[in-house]
Amino acid sequence: MKCKRCRAKAEVQVRHHNAAFCRPCFILVFQRQVQRSIEKHRMFTAQEEILVAVSGGKDSLALWDALIELGYRTTGLHLALGIGEYSHVSTTKTVDFAHRRHLRLITVDLEAQGLAVPTLARFTKRPACATCGTTKRHEFDRMAFENGFKVLATGHNLDDEAARLLGNVLHWQVHYLAKQSPVLESTHERLARKVKPLYRVTEYETAVYAFFRGIDYVVDECPNSVGATQLMYKDTLNRLEAVMPGTKLTFVRDFLTSGQPAFSAAADGAPQSCDACGMPSFGTLCSYCRLRREVETKQLMWQPPRAASDGR
């Protein structure tokens, strides 16, 4: 197999583009795809500084790497979620990545604040991923605002977007369909524009890019992801993709060009401000402040179980 660009020996085949590439050409093509998405959707300009949400996984580190290689000014933002060994490894990989490349990284340690994801889930009796999602959204917005960033980039790839779209369509979540876009403009003075420059590249391409670029990322999945509906949707889409290469890209691309505008009327109006933290909210308190208050109240009421040997 020969590289489509330079005719050298190919190292990777990209079936949905019906093409194969050698290592240098694949890296170039990947970065060009990212650049094209940024320009097509006017995500940001070369003059803006981008806050990149980095988990320590392949997608976010590949995104950060590609943005640097494309010449953008970036700062990383990492949330240490407090999910045991998984979080420790994720934080270590992220810090190492930033350190080796002399990049600025902001880290928020939720465990040190007593607000680790397992703590939130235990005290509220909600699924870990629900409390994690609320926390991530709030902390990303808060850190972007407090550090003066107008743009927040996340590493969502084509597989993520296709799986999310499938879930939203299956359940006709029109509010979510209205918001499913590679760019979400700010609707509040404290809200940064949210962008997904990897939305056109697959998880496979991102993994290959990370490997070719020598990026050391956390390989294990979060233990809370076991049995997640999102993974089921991804699996279903992968099976379709195997027999019909290009399905994921067509599904997402055609939704954005012809389907999504039909749902725009279902979009939420502009949010007000949370009475407690001042961040965007659709009620008196934002969902994060409500979550936090619930945890803090229950922590105050919580009595540790008595030891069997205390004799009473």
**Which residue ranges make up the site for ligand SF4 (CB under 6 A)?**
117, 128-129, 132-133, 222, 224-225
In the complex with ligand SF4, which residue's Cβ is closer, 118 or 249? 118
Q: What are the Cα distances from residue 135, in Å, to 131, 167, 205, 260, 262?
A: 6, 22, 29, 27, 30
- Rounded to the nearest whole angstrom, what is the least distance from the CB of residue 162 to ligand SF4 in the complex? 18
154: amino acid identity, one letter? T
Which residue's entry shows tokens 């279903």? 236
- Rounded to the nearest whole angstrom, what is the least distance from the CB of residue 133 to ligand SF4 in the complex? 6
Cα separation, 260 vs 246, in Å, equals: 19
In the complex with ligand SF4, which residue's Cβ is closer, 114 or 133? 133
- Rounded to the nearest whole angstrom, what is the least distance from the CB of residue 230 to ligand SF4 in the complex? 9
Q: Which helix (H) or strand (E) holds 13?
A: strand 12-14
- Rounded to the nearest whole angstrom, what is the least distance from the CB of residue 132 to ligand SF4 in the complex? 3
- Rounded to the nearest whole angstrom, what is the least distance from the CB of residue 166 to ligand SF4 in the complex? 18
Q: Would you say the C-alpha torsion 34, 40, 41, 45 has a positive or negative sign? A: positive
In the complex with ligand SF4, which residue's Cβ is closer, 37 or 168? 168
Q: Are strands 272-273 and 183-184 parallel, antiparallel or unpaired?
A: unpaired
Beta-carbon contacts of residue 143 (< 8 Å; ≥ 6 apart):
51, 77, 106, 108, 149
Where do runs of H (alpha helix) occur along 70-202? Answer: 84-100, 117-124, 128-146, 158-170, 174-179
Of 238, 255, 256, residue with least CA distance to 247:
238
- Rounded to the nearest whole angstrom, what is the least distance from the CB of residue 62 to ligand SF4 in the complex? 17
In the complex with ligand SF4, which residue's Cβ is closer, 225 or 264? 225
In the complex with ligand SF4, which residue's Cβ is closer, 132 or 195? 132
Cα separation, 142 vs 278, in Å, equals: 9
